[in-house]
Each structure stands twice: as structure tokens, then as C-alpha cells.
Amino acid sequence: MDRQSFIPAAAVFGTTVERKIITLLNSFNDVRDFDVIVDRPGFGRAEEGEGSAIGDTVAQRFLDARPPGGWTTIAEFIRSAWPFRSTISGFGEDKFSDLVYSAIKLSAGDDHRTLTGFFRRISNDGATPFAKIREPVDVLVYGKFAGASDQADFMTVIQVQETDEDGNFSIEDITDDYEEFAIVACFRDDGRVFHRSGLIPIRQFTGDEFRYRPLLLNFSFELLDENFRAQIEEQAGTQLEGGKRLESITSDFKDGFVEIKGRVIAPDTFLWFDSKLDFTIEMRMLPSNMTQDWVRDLTSLVGIQTVVTEQSHQNDGFIIASILAFFVPGGLLLGPIATIVFLAIDSSLDNEASTNELIADAININLDDDQLENIQNAIQDVVENADPITANALRLLSTFDEPPATPEEELEMIIEFMSTHVTIDRTDIDEDKATLSLWLTVPFAIQEV
């Protein structure tokens, strides 16, 4: 995991956090007052121990530069948000991140919440129903601050907390400054992301402390080169947008990528004056944390990198828009996660199958009755041994309007939830097969204490 990740100034301009920063800086009258600014946990340029926050020299520069009426905006001492440049010598993006974190931590109010929890793995064979994950884990806190402009509509990592030797973690000072809030978990040793919470409705929790204890299943799926090729070649003849037709298509697994070749036939038009286009695409499947907006959007399974390496047509921009478009929208992997089918969608048909529905179908097919019963039992154990708020967690976290009335409805709800909470932590492709290691998140409880 990259520990040198900083809070961008663009994420703070105009937000409630900016007001807290200004209030804090204007309250300082002596360099010793700056001692309350602490190093942001887990991040920064310090490799061991606690990093340096704002020392006396930089603190004095702040005091000397403060306008007579006090600071009114961070733009008065930040010349450029990207790349970060400050009018205060020695005040860089690392110290700015410390200031942001500390301003939230030191702010008054009754909205400071603490999130505690741990991660549990449900075994595939049912031998250990839900064992706590005790490997060292980094829990990353992401957020978008209230009041951020449309130009800063992104989730930024605020802090990271490490699980202790028993697998527990505690995140403090979660305030209403977070318009959006999510956590990401990765194994500390190799940085593999195994869990994404998606957006947590943090403002629904009015208490001081709540618990987060997701249940996870880990699977690896393989797809053989020959099977994938057969499924790809079945798409030959598909009608594409604008009257074009996919005349031929085939695939070949290479070391680290999949090569896809094909030919598109188009009617004679002003743009398509030669009517034929031969293309070759090198496709690389990347883990979920390489997908666009991966913190918010749990339905994006695998990041994709595509390169057009040859074509007979000269209008390159039009190629990208019209040929690759039938692969790209919604993410390249629209098919079931177990078989990794790439769907060429016929634009002339009313195709209503969503990514979630296709994933749900794959879960139904690839988890046997014993595994699904094991999942239900694990959830039931959480519900039976918790308070009424936890018992209603399925209703809170599902699109269902009512709690499940039958075991069949409960199972449908569970599968629906898992289909929207998939994380690919590793992808490997060689000349014979593609292997994806993925984690399914089972409906979990966010419990107020």
C-alpha cells in the first residue's frame, strides 16, 4: 500500500472542513499552540514511528503571514492545489494533510463517532463457519467532504488504521464533515484489496459508537483459453450500432493479457467509405481497485486496459467510439464472474440484463446449497445475538422494501446483496487460462453500540 497518499487541497476548498481549518489557525497565538496538530495516522513521508506535523519554524511563518483580520480561506496560503504549492515555506501536502485531519479531530460538536470492528471469513466447506481474519490488515477511510464543488467530486483517503494482533480496528472522529463515507480493507503485506464497503450512510447513525463486522467469502475462478475463445467466437454475426455487423471475432490468451481480433463490416457512408475494419485489442484485466470510481461503485468488477494495435480504417477516433463501445459500457466484464463471458450487446434488442443480475446468476450457479446455507446461518447468528437495530440490517442495506418473509426470500436478498459487493483482489493470465481471485461480501450488520 502506498503510504505517501495525501489529501488534495481541491477536496477541501469550500467545505465544512475548510471552515474548521480557518477557525483552528485563527485561534493560535504562539508556536506552541500548533502542537495540537498531529501526524495523520498511517500516511505521510515518515516511514517509521510518528511523522512530523507542523514544527516551530513553519508555525512561526504561519503566525507572521496571518492577515490582521485573520485567515478567511485556505486559498490565502495555498497558491496551487495541483500541484500543491503554498505561500508558507516548508508547508507541503504532507503537513496540509495533517492539518486537515487535526482540524476535524479537534472540532467541537456531538457528531464525533467511532467505528470499531473486524473482518470475518466464511469458509467454503463450512468447517469454520466465520473465522476472524487475523492477518495484518490496513483499514483505509475514504470520504468526500460536505460542500465540495463538482470539480472535486471524488473520494479521497483521509486516514488508515491497522488491525491489532486479534484482528480488531478502531476508527475515530467520523463526523458530519463526511458527505460520503466508505472504508476499504487490504492485506498489509502485499496491499491486495479484499473488501470495499461502498457508501455507508454515516449520518443515519446518531450515537457515539457503532460496529462494522462484514462477512466475506473468498473464491478463485479459472477460465480456460479454449473455452473463452469458443464463447467469444459465438458473437460473430452480432449487429452493432449504426447498422454495422461484427463479421468475425476470436481471442487468444497471452502472457498477462488477452488478445482479441476481429472484423467489422459497415454500410457505405461518408465516414465508412471502405466498409471494413480489422482490429486487434490487447486487453488486460486489473483488480477492482483499478476500476473507475472504485470506492463508491461496487458493481465495477475488473479494471480494463485496451489498446488498438492495428486497423485498416483511418478514422481512429470513430473506431474507439463505435467499435470498442459495444465492449466498454458498463465495464468490459458484463458476464457471469465464473465464466468471464464478454457480451456483445445487440443494440437493436431491448437488453435489460444488468451487471448485478448477471453476477447474481453466477452466484446462484457456482455456490452449492451447503455453501448458501452456511452463509444464511452465519447471518442468522449475527442477527440472533445482537440488538434490534442489527436485526434490521438486511432491510437497511438491501433494495428490498420489507424484511424477508421466507427463507427463499432471504436467500434472494442475500444473493442480491452479494452481487453488488464483489471485489477482485488479483488477476492472472497466462497462455492457458485466466484466474481471478475474488471476495464476496455477505450482508452484514452496522450496529450502534
Position 356 scores a pLDDT of 60
CA-to-CA distance for 105 and 297, rounded, in angstroms? 28
pLDDT, one tens digit per residue, over 403-448 is 667 777 777 777 777 877 888 898 888 999 888 888 888 776 667 6
pLDDT interval class at 49 (50, 70, 90): very low
* Higher pLDDT pick, 184 / 40: 184
CA-to-CA distance for 304 and 282, rounded, in angstroms? 10
In the predicted structure, residue 309 carries a pLDDT above the cut 90: no
**C-alpha cell of residue 113:** 463517532
Average confidence (pLDDT) over 194-199: 92
Verify cis geometry, omega within 30 degrees of 0, for the bond prior to 201: no
Position 124 scores a pLDDT of 62
Position 48 scores a pLDDT of 45
Position 156 scores a pLDDT of 93
Provide the sign of the torsion angle of the four alpha carbons 176, 211, 185, 414, taken in this order. Answer: negative
**Cα–Cα nearest to 46, from 95, 99, 114:** 95
**Cα–Cα nearest to 432, from 224, 284, 255, 258:** 224
Three-class SS of residue 206?
A: coil
Average confidence (pLDDT) over 155-159: 92
CA-to-CA distance for 44 and 4, rounded, in angstroms? 5
In the predicted structure, residue 247 carries a pLDDT above the cut 60: yes
Average confidence (pLDDT) over 231-250: 75
Average confidence (pLDDT) over 280-297: 83
Position 296 scores a pLDDT of 92
CA-to-CA distance for 298 and 420, rounded, in angstroms? 6
Assign 3-class secondary structure to 15-52. Answer: CHHHHHHHHHHHCCCCHHHHHHCCCCCCCCCCCCCCCC
pLDDT, one tens digit per residue, over 215-239 is 888 877 777 888 778 877 877 877 7
pLDDT, one tens digit per residue, over 86-139 is 999 999 999 999 999 999 999 988 899 999 999 988 776 655 567 889 999 999
Angle, CA of 331, 182 and 138, to the nearest 5°: 100
Q: Which helix (H) or strand (E) holds 303?
A: strand 303-310
**C-alpha cell of residue 351:** 437488453
Q: Which helix (H) or strand (E) holds 316?
A: helix 316-322
In the predicted structure, residue 293 carries a pLDDT above the cut 60: yes
219: amino acid identity, one letter: F
Three-class SS of residue 97?
A: helix
